[in-house]
Each structure stands twice: as structure tokens, then as C-alpha cells.
Amino acid sequence: MTRALRTLAEVAGDYDAIVLDQWGVLHNGSRPYPGAVEALKQLKASGHRLAVLSNSGKRAAPNRARIAAMGFPNDLFELVMTSGEALWRDVAEGRVTARRFRAIEAAMGDAAAWAEGLDIVLDGEAEAILLMGLDDDCPPDAWQPVMQEALSRGLPVYCSNPDRQSPRAGRLVIAPGTLAFDYRERGGDVVFYGKPHRPVFDAAETALGALRLLMVGDSLEHDIAGAASAGWDSVLVQGGLYAATFAAGEPDTVLAALCHEKATPQPTYRIEALQ
């Protein structure tokens, strides 16, 4: 049965490193969750190794900068690994052979910044779709004409953010995974990067050189299921993606129902918020 925690410090000593999701755990997209910075500073001061593993379509460096700008010290995290970083490395090393992409991005310029250092083209006749981000106010059908054309041409989609939704201050917004899963359900070819897919967990494990890893996340489908597949223990943060659901019922009952609904294993631990 999942064990309820009051603080991460209760179990931190059992692990070589603690790996944290970003949105829904560290921050809500604009500011840190109350107590999160101080909790992690205390863990770091106690000698615990900390890392971030995020389903962000951007590379690791801009994500590290975003986290620091929100008040998390620059030296707090030993590693920041993102799904966008993993895709960039595969393109750079030739494991992805497409060289002409149609980019779907949250803000103009995101794809160009991501592509720096790569011998690729982001306009003209595309060989593939780069699905890396959506504007927070993007209507569900805004990109359907592009996706329909891609489907008719048989283009593969490289999705560097498999999340279907992402928590923001007081609401949930549509994330790129919504488009990617719809494309796959309509017969399109989608290559997913990020959690719950094993390569990004393996990349983090290799970079950390650690065996006993604890994943802290707010998504059962991405953080908890991915950690279980990789052989890691996990902590579900109740105040992220499922905050409204947990607020409406008894935590163990809510958790069991969510795991059944999403066909995921139960997390090792649960905690109300990062503290």
C-alpha cells in the first residue's frame, strides 16, 4: 500500500538521488509552490543529491535557467534532463534522420532556439513534425489543419512533450501530448520522448551514476508508471495535476480510483506537496 509522507526528508536517506518533475511539483508555471525552495535547500544541505527530469520540449539549459529564475538556487540540481534534450541528442547523433521539420511551438522562436547546433531546417517542405509545445491558451483544434495535412502525407511526429495536460496557476492547460495521441489514434506515426518512456529514465540514471533513485512527480501516467518501469521508487505529489480530485475525497480512496482509471501502478509514497 502507498505510504503517506509529510516530508521527503522522511525517506530521502534511503536513496542515492532524488529526481523531481518540474510542473506540478516544483512550480505551477509561473512561481514555486509554497515551501518547495526551502524544502529542497534543506535536502541539499543534508547531503542529498537532487535532479530534475521534465517533459519539456525545450533543452536542459533553458529549463535550468527557468527554474533558477523562480528562486531555486543554480547549484541546487546536479542534473536537469528534459525530453527536448533527449530528442536534440538523437537528432545530433543521427538516430533521427529527418532534416526538415514543421515545428509546433508554444512561442515563436522556441523551435529555432532548440535547433541551435543542429543541421536541420524548420521551414519549407517538411519530412516530419516537431511537436514541442503549445501556447497555454491554445484551443484544442488550433493545430488540426497542420496535423491533418501531416497525416495525409504520412509524416512522422516527434513529440518532445508527451503530457496531455499541464498544471498552471489555478487551472490545467492542454499540452502537446493531446495532439500526439490523437494523431496516433488516427493512424499517424508518433515517436514520443520523455516520461513514461524508458530512454529518458535510463539517460538520467546513467548521468547520475546512481542505483537507488526516487522519482517525485504529479502524473501517474508519466512519472509514476515511468519510474516503475525503470525500477525506481516514486512519490506522487497530490497538489499538482490531480489537486482538485484529491481535494474532493479521502486520499487513499482517490489514489486507488485514479490508478485503476489510468491503469498504472500505485506510487511507493504520496505527499500533499513538496516539503
Structural Rg of the chain based on CA atoms: 18
Neighbours of 102 (CB within 10 A): 21
Cα 95 from Cα 26, distance rounded (Å) = 32
Cα 123 from Cα 116, distance rounded (Å) = 15
Alpha helices in 28-109 (DSSP H): 36-45, 60-69, 83-92
Cα–Cα nearest to 274, from 3, 41, 31, 34:
34
In percent, how much of the chain has pLDDT > 90?
A: 85
* Average pLDDT along the chain: 94
Residue 114: pLDDT band (50, 70, 90) is very high
Report the pLDDT value the prediction gives residue 30, as an integer from 0 to 100: 86
Cα 224 from Cα 218, distance rounded (Å) = 8
Report the pLDDT value the prediction gives residue 163, as an integer from 0 to 100: 87
* 213-227 tens-digit pLDDT: 999 999 999 999 999
Bigger pLDDT: 1 or 44? Answer: 44
Cell of 113: 532556439
Cα–Cα nearest to 208, from 43, 35, 80, 84:
80
For 133-185, the DSSP string reads ---TT--TTTTHHHHHHHHHHT--EEES---SEEEETTEEEE-HHHHHHHHHH
Cα 195 from Cα 204, distance rounded (Å) = 11
Report the pLDDT value the prediction gives residue 243, as an integer from 0 to 100: 93
Q: What is the pTM of this model?
A: 0.87
> pLDDT at residue 67 above 90?
yes
* 164-184 tens-digit pLDDT: 888 777 788 889 999 999 999
Cα–Cα nearest to 252, from 240, 239, 262, 266:
266
Cα 212 from Cα 17, distance rounded (Å) = 7
> pLDDT at residue 105 above 80?
yes
Phi-psi region of 112 (alpha: psi -120 to 50; beta: other; left: phi over 0): alpha
